Homo-oligomer: A and B are copies of this chain.
Amino acid sequence: MMGQSEASSPSLLPMGFVDLLPGEAEAEAHGIAKVMDIFGAHGYERVRPPLLEFESSLLSGAGEALSEQTFRLLDPSSHRMMALRPDITTQIARISQVRLQELPRPLRLSYAGDCIVIGTVGREADRQILQAGIELIGPDHAEADAEVIALGAKALAALNIKHVSFDLSMPVLVWSLLDKTYEGSERDYIIHALDRRDAAAVAEYGGAMAQLLLEMMNASGPADQALERLKALSFPDDLKQHVYRLEASVQALKQRLPDLRLTIDPVDFRGWRYHTGLCVTVFALKSREELGRGGRYLAGNEPACGLTLHPQALLKVAPIQARRPRCLVPQGVGAEILSALHKEGFATIEDLEKTQDPLLLARRLRCSHLWQNGRVEAL
């Protein structure tokens, strides 16, 4: 309803912030509730950290990576800097390490809430980002990896989202190779070349490791096939564990959900600097919309595996929910009738003005139904 022509309107929102209107807001709330219900049913207990914290705690550890994307505020009460959360994972790690340190492990937590990022000047992108996710804290084995990813898949299924791909990677494998082989500008160059998938540059500047890196690039594809290729490569002995673990996690995941579409990209490593094991990005197959991401990391000193879904992206690909049908009811209609209509799924719209023409009013108020003569009538 508000178009480009209103760009000069004083009511226009800052770029990246939107109003959700009737229908949209309901769909979002409904989607979050469904996802959180799936998480809760599988023992992931909900926690709710605040929208802002002291900068020093919010941006420590893994949170540091998001520092440049974070709005700061001065707290007049403590004279310390606070920060609006750009991500919830860091907060869940804090809660698990401080508030819930006495609870036995495995500790399963879930969360849903808004995050705020500064964004990139001049680039259209959401700056208020909804996250709904889970963290499995304590265990570090393939079954734990599989439980988290499988639960993400179940949440998508609950929203009737089909045609998704779970793209797995093992960034620690790439980073370990890079860290043990290259230094300084050579290292930067190889990182850049790998990130661009520039085989020629990797071949020319990769030195002794070039062959292995190129073979890793070529191993990318459907999980079974990629695993076979990866297992045939000659990784340094101390890195082979990562390939075995990747295989074990894939097997555990396939046992849970044999039909899940799994791919592996062994050289997906950028943006996963703090991760210590299996990572995953969830995509909608058609639109390539990123629906969520997660992976294994350290919450404090504890192994943890998490997955964050983006409800706003999910709702772009989820089948549209039928909205409540609206039924006009006369003023003073009995509580039993209202209650029965609500149970049938109707939203009841009361005629406050005691109209002489209920049919006309029902149409005007976007009702599809009308209560008259003791029953619901469709318009």
Contact = CB atoms under 8 A, between A and B. Distances in A.
A40 B99 contact: no
| Shortest beta-carbon contacts, A-B, top 8 | A22-B45, A17-B50, A25-B48, A20-B48, A43-B349, A25-B46, A41-B342, A43-B347
Given A47-B20, A118-B76, A128-B51, A40 B324 contact: yes
A239 to B, nearest CB: 25
Interface in A52-98: 52-54, 56-57, 60, 71, 73, 75-78, 80, 82, 84, 91, 94-95, 97-98
Contacts of A374: none
A148 to B, nearest CB: 11
A313 to B, nearest CB: 16
Interface in A120-153: 121-122, 128, 139, 141, 143-144, 147
A84 B75 CA distance: 14
Contact of A52 (B14, B36, B82, B342): B14
Contact of A116 (B52, B91, B119, B121): B52
Nearest to A36: B29
Nearest to A346: B41
A223 to B, nearest CB: 20
A348 B149 CA distance: 16
Contact of A82 (B14, B51, B342): B14
Interface residues of A, number: 93
Given A19-B48, A98-B9, A100-B1, A43 B73 contact: no
Contact of A365 (B104, B112, B353): B104
A99 B26 contact: no
A10 interface: yes
A322 interface: no
B13 A50 contact: yes
A245 to B, nearest CB: 15
A33 interface: yes
Contacts of A13: 50, 53-54, 57
B350 A147 contact: yes
A364 B13 CA distance: 50
A350 B57 CA distance: 32
Nearest to A255: B332
Nearest to A44: B347
A208 B332 CA distance: 44
B50 A128 contact: yes
Contacts of A141: 352
A376 interface: no
17 contacts: A10-B60, A11-B57, A14-B53, A19-B48, A21-B100, A29-B46, A40-B324, A40-B347, A41-B346, A43-B326, A76-B121, A77-B121, A77-B122, A104-B366, A114-B114, A139-B353, A141-B352
A324 B41 CA distance: 8
A173 interface: no
Contacts of A41: 324, 342, 346-348
A42 interface: yes
Contact of A349 (B47, B98, B108, B324): B108
A49 interface: yes
A53 to B, nearest CB: 6
A106 interface: yes
A331 interface: yes
B22 A47 contact: yes
Contacts of A215: none
A102 interface: yes
